[in-house]
Amino acid sequence: MKVKKLLANILISALALGAAKADEMMINGAGASFPAPVYQMWSYLYTHSQNAAKINYQSIGSGAGLNQLKSGTIDFAGSDNPLTLESQKEFAIKQFPMLTGGVVVITNIPNVKSGELKLDRKTLSRIFLGEIKNWNDAEIAKLNPSLKLPDLPITVVHRSDSSGTTFIFTNYLSKISKDWKENIGEGSSVKWPAGIGGQKNPGVCNNVKKISGSIGYTEYTYALEAKLACATLENAEGKFVEPNLKTFSAAVESANWADAKGFYMVLTNQGGENSYPIMGVTYILFPENCGAEKKSEMFKYFNWCFNSGKINAEKLGYVPIPESVVKLIRDEIFK
């Protein structure tokens, strides 16, 4: 089912559940665009089905969300760039993982469908370094002998804003490419060696869709909605895997959350033959001192998301946090 149609059906059905009271507490969140489709759906469903606080979430990017949280203009932030335990203590912020999802490589190559293009780690990094400039390059052709690759320039499309999706993607490139790690590095915003920028995930998708020969990166749900082709990537075991819920889940299941201090976890380049290599964890961040009443209402909402929201999250292409990790969150955060 198409993402927009799915969202419409879910939201329309929620109206029958009744609206929340107008005088209930309002809780405002903002941040990452990576999980925005499901966060906005959850906030609508919760607000219109529960006799509890009203929830609002705005997609403004991970960096902007963290800045607004620090300034006190929002109650919680969504971020795909987790804070270390040291940073959490410094800013008096708590964090926990809410969802995981795949960051996919999207392309616009004439007559090349989703899943058909294979890119190994070396070739992927060299494309984004600007070293491979044409789609019929011998290095790409060798990986794809069955494809008729065009004599067409490659246009790299990247995020222009401070972005958790960029952190995930550049973290991965830093793990698979020494040149990338030494010359570009990882972060929410980096000095890109090639290409053009797009604002948030939709901006990257829009640019890739309109530019023939382009390549970019985005969260999986946005790629599905934009009907863009996704590349098949080489994982840590040297296996080529397509992005889907099965390969996403394989990567999530291999993570060791019990030893993740402050729930800090980066899921890129996880082991396992079936693991998709560019996985992101999207986090909820909130201030330690936000008031008992507001904290109680936020925890009610987040618990509802874990209990009642995971089915709809899966329908939108996200992988819910494992139940064992949810238990850790409840024991350490929601106490």
Residue range 3-99+282-332 forms a domain whose CATH class is alpha beta
Tell me which residue of 286, 221, 245, 278 sits closest to 30, measured CA to CA. 286
Q: Please give the Cα distance from 96 to 264 (Å, whole number).
A: 8
Q: Please give the Cα distance from 121 to 126 (Å, whole number).
A: 9
C-alpha dist (Å) from residue 316 to 35, 110, 183, 255: 10, 27, 36, 22
Q: What is the mean pLDDT of the chain?
A: 92
| Residues 286-300: tens digit of each pLDDT | 999 988 999 999 999
Rg (C-alpha) for the chain, rounded Å, is: 20
| Residues 234-255: tens digit of each pLDDT | 999 999 999 999 999 999 987 8
Tell me which residue of 83, 82, 78, 85 sits closest to 64, measured CA to CA. 78
Query: Which residues, at least 6 apart from 183, have a Cβ–Cβ distance to it below 8 Å?
Result: 129, 193
Domain with CATH 3.40.190.10 in the chain: 3-99+282-332, 103-263
Q: What is the pTM of this model?
A: 0.86
Q: Which residues pair with residue 229 across a beta bridge?
A: 107
**The CATH classification of domain 103-263, taken from the options 3.40.190.10, 3.40.1210.10, 3.20.20.390, 3.30.43.10:** 3.40.190.10
Region 93-99: what's the mean pLDDT? 96
C-alpha dist (Å) from residue 161 to 63, 66, 200, 207: 8, 13, 7, 14
Residue 134: left if φ>0, alpha if ψ -120 to 50, beta else—which one?
Answer: beta
Q: Does the structure show a pLDDT above 90 at 16?
A: no
